[in-house]
Amino acid sequence: MHNLCPELGVDVPQDLLAICRSLGRPFRHRRVGRIQKNHVRNINMKRSEMYDRIRNHPEAWDMIVVGGGATGVGVAIDAASRGYDVLLLEQSDFGKGTSSRSTKLAHGGIRYLGQGNIGLVLEALKERGLLLENAPHIVHDLAFVVPNYDWWEAPFYGLGLKLYQLLAGKYGLGTSRILSREETLEHLPTLKTEGLRGGAVYFDGQFDDARLLIHMVATAYEQGATLLNYVEVMDLMRNAQGAIDGVMARDVETGYQFRAAAKIVINATGAFSDRLRLIAEPDATPMIAPSQGIHLVFDGAFLAGKSAIMVPHTRDGRVLFAIPWHGHTLVGTTDTAIPTVPLEPVAMDEEIDFILSTAGEYLAKAPTRRDVLSVFAGVRPLVRASNAAGTAELSRDHVIQVGSSGLVSVMGGKWTTYRRMAEDCVNQAAALAYLPERTCATEHLHIHGFHNDAKAYGSLSVYGSDAIEIDKLIASDQELRERLHPALPYVKAEVVFAARQEMARTVEDVLARRTRALFLNARVAVEMAPVAADLMARELAWSELEKANQVKAFRDVAANYLLRN
Ligand SMILES: Cc1cc2nc3c(=O)[nH]c(=O)nc-3n(C[C@H](O)[C@H](O)[C@H](O)COP(=O)(O)OP(=O)(O)OC[C@H]3O[C@@H](n4cnc5c(N)ncnc54)[C@H](O)[C@@H]3O)c2cc1C
């Protein structure tokens, strides 16, 4: 519920006014102009520099953001680009949580149409369009085909997809239409033909989630934010009135503990949100209903062609996608309620069997366990609703909750809508922290690496303009041109770049999130690990022991991505 604050003329949630009063903070805003810094081409993010900034910052930060996934980094970009002074702390690597484990679709959420949630679809379609505009080097459009095996499916899905296209308005990506059997097979040459009548095609966005996230970290940094991975927020600090006014943090690498004061603390810890909420207010009601989703990755030959398959209604009422991704075939996902949230979730056998059998209903060559190159699991940070029968029915809307301690938690939502979530969150946080009001500047803010024709960089295209920096590394040392493994296109220079400029700290950071080797082919990634460790050791001055520990730690994590046949 929102109120127009009379003295300010700004839209203010009612509970925010009440909380400001209870914390003894007058609700006053000063409106100042929009501040946006220039786009910096070449980033050079260094851990030591981030610590220097913290040490040289004795006064309270305007905002401390806890959590370095899409939501937290989105908030850091938004706040920094308005000119606020922001510190973001991530307990593991940026994107280690859900944000590297998604289906990688920038989408309006066609199935929310079926749930009648037009508002969510409209919002997400707009955000999809903005993502394509602001990060064309990482996000691109993709044709999705709904194959039809029953007579009623073509008109039914054809109509729904037309509505989806119309709702996108000026952010539309292409014309959806009904396809003949032949046209369907032109899009999907490896589709099962038995009983196939035709299909319907529509368009959505696709991206590389962890790569986009790293570029968002760079964007936040360009805008002035200070961001650290491998720093866990252990506790929250309070003022005399009991309001949260800072964090107690611990460097996971060194054990060094420090306090940082803030005018407002934002909890953007995704599926872990309740943990921090309960530290802030031990009697808080848990709000997260965690739901696991898994994906299987196969050779690209399973889904020949450039289009994806969308199955709107699997046996148990879920949506399933088979998508071409980095030359491979990505199939998912599941929606399984889970009791606790691990940092490294593991796929369950039932989930694997479900995806294999459903994929086998649609693909000419049914995949088996032996064909699985990688399996990965992620946890949706869904917000609880008392009347939903299962997690698949829970809303993907985001929620911003302001606790009685003043902790602001931004929960739920989707990757696609991270920018909008951040805007709403910063609006509320700035008001609560009594910061000068500044308008959001992210609608047309280019994401780091922005490039309109990044395809020209071949396998380095996802780096956008940073591909030039990687090319410079190669020019300075021809060894860096070599591939890490013949099965994947990643070259040694990418490891050096990740350690030198993208704050990669472990072999896993490089093989899972700076490149996507672990997600594409876990066995190959394990084979790459010693080479990657050698290169990182040179950059980060690792001892032989540290190098060996890094390779072992990576093998342990990679075991979760490998299937036992
Ligand atoms: C299987 C699956 C498929 C999906 N597919 C799509 C899709 O195709 N398109 C789409 O739009 N959305 C999709 N989503 C949703 C989307 O991925 C999530 O909504 C989004 O990634 C959540 O981001 P987040 O930043 O809130 O959480 P996270 O990415 O989990 O980030 C939270 C971070 O907080 C950190 N953290 C926790 N506690 C602390 C602490 N005490 N101190 C410091 N750091 C801490 C964690 O380490 C973590 O990195 C999917 C989700 C799943 C599970």
- The pick from 99, 213, 235 for probing ligand 1's pocket by mutation, whose C-beta has the most ligand atoms within 8 angstroms, reads 99
- Give distance in angstroms: CA of 69 to centre of ligand 1: 5
Cα 278 to chain centroid, rounded: 24
What residues does ligand 1 touch, defined as CB less than 6 Å away?
66-72, 89-92, 96-99, 101-105, 107, 232-233, 268-272, 276, 293, 333, 378-381, 413-416
The pLDDT value given to residue 229: 98
- Give distance in angstroms: CA of 310 to centre of ligand 1: 23
Number of Cβ within 10 Å of residue 353's Cβ equals 11
3-state secondary structure 75-129: HHHHHHHCCCCEEEECCCCCCCCHHHCCCCEECCCHHHHHCCCHHHHHHHHHHHH
Q: Which atom of ligand 1 is nearest to the CA of 105?
A: 8
pLDDT, tens digit, 9 for 90 and up, residues 94-103: 999 999 999 9
The pLDDT value given to residue 29: 39
Q: Could you give the 3-state DSSP secondary structure of residue 254?
A: coil
Q: Quick one: what percent of the chain has pLDDT higher than 90? A: 81
The pLDDT value given to residue 269: 98
Instruction: Answer whether the bond into residue 442 is a cis peptide, omega within 30°.
Output: no
Dihedral sign from CA coordinates of 411, 421, 217, 488: positive
The pLDDT value given to residue 366: 97
Identify the residue whose C-alpha is closest to ligand 1 atom 48.
Answer: 97
Mean pLDDT of 39-67: 89
pLDDT, tens digit, 9 for 90 and up, residues 175-205: 999 999 999 999 999 999 999 999 999 999 9
R_g over Cα of the chain: 23
The pLDDT value given to residue 11: 42
Whether residue 417 is predicted with pLDDT greater than 70 in this model: the reply is: yes
- The pick from 330, 338, 383, 415 for probing ligand 1's pocket by mutation, whose C-beta has the most ligand atoms within 8 angstroms, reads 415
For 175, the token pair is 């014309």
Mean pLDDT of 455-469: 96
CA 492/CA 44 separation, integer angstroms: 18
Q: Could you give the 3-state DSSP secondary structure of residue 483?
A: strand
pLDDT, tens digit, 9 for 90 and up, residues 273-286: 999 999 999 999 99
Identify the residue whose C-alpha is closest to ligand 1 atom 25.
Answer: 69
Whether residue 21 is predicted with pLDDT greater than 70 in this model: the reply is: no
DSSP 391: G
The pLDDT value given to residue 10: 36
More confident residue, 450 or 15: 450
Number of Cβ within 10 Å of residue 313's Cβ equals 14
- Give distance in angstroms: CA of 376 to centre of ligand 1: 14
For 493, the token pair is 């220079």
- Give distance in angstroms: CA of 282 to centre of ligand 1: 24
Mean pLDDT of 354-365: 96
280 touches 266 (CB < 8 A): no
Mean pLDDT of 151-166: 87
The pLDDT value given to residue 423: 97
465 touches 154 (CB < 8 A): no
- Give distance in angstroms: CA of 285 to centre of ligand 1: 21
At 34, the pLDDT band (50, 70, 90 cuts) reads very low
Q: Which atom of ligand 1 is nearest to the CA of 396?
A: 19
- The pick from 91, 96, 102, 228 for probing ligand 1's pocket by mutation, whose C-beta has the most ligand atoms within 8 angstroms, reads 102
327 touches 373 (CB < 8 A): no
CA 283/CA 285 separation, integer angstroms: 7
- Give distance in angstroms: CA of 330 to centre of ligand 1: 19
More confident residue, 151 or 356: 356
Instruction: Please choose, from the candidates 304, 336, 346, 349, the residue with its C-alpha nearest in 3D space to the C-alpha of residue 322.
Output: 304
pLDDT, tens digit, 9 for 90 and up, residues 549-560: 999 999 999 999
Sequence length of the chain is 565
CA 269/CA 381 separation, integer angstroms: 9
Mean pLDDT of 129-147: 97
H/E run at residue 381: strand 374-383
| Residues with Cβ within 8 Å of residue 143, at least 6 apart in sequence | 174, 187, 201, 202, 203, 306, 307, 308
CA 541/CA 218 separation, integer angstroms: 24
The pLDDT value given to residue 386: 55
Q: Could you give the 3-state DSSP secondary structure of residue 288?
A: strand
Pairing type for strands 231-238 and 244-251 reads antiparallel
- Give distance in angstroms: CA of 97 to centre of ligand 1: 5
Instruction: Please choose, from the candidates 298, 296, 372, the residue with its C-alpha nearest in 3D space to the C-alpha of residue 334.
Output: 296
pLDDT, tens digit, 9 for 90 and up, residues 468-522: 999 999 999 999 999 999 999 999 999 999 999 999 999 999 999 999 999 999 9
CA 232/CA 89 separation, integer angstroms: 7
DSSP 161: H
Following DSSP, what letter does each residue of 2-27 receive, concatenated? Answer: EEEETTTTEEEEHHHHHHHHHTT---
At 316, the pLDDT band (50, 70, 90 cuts) reads confident
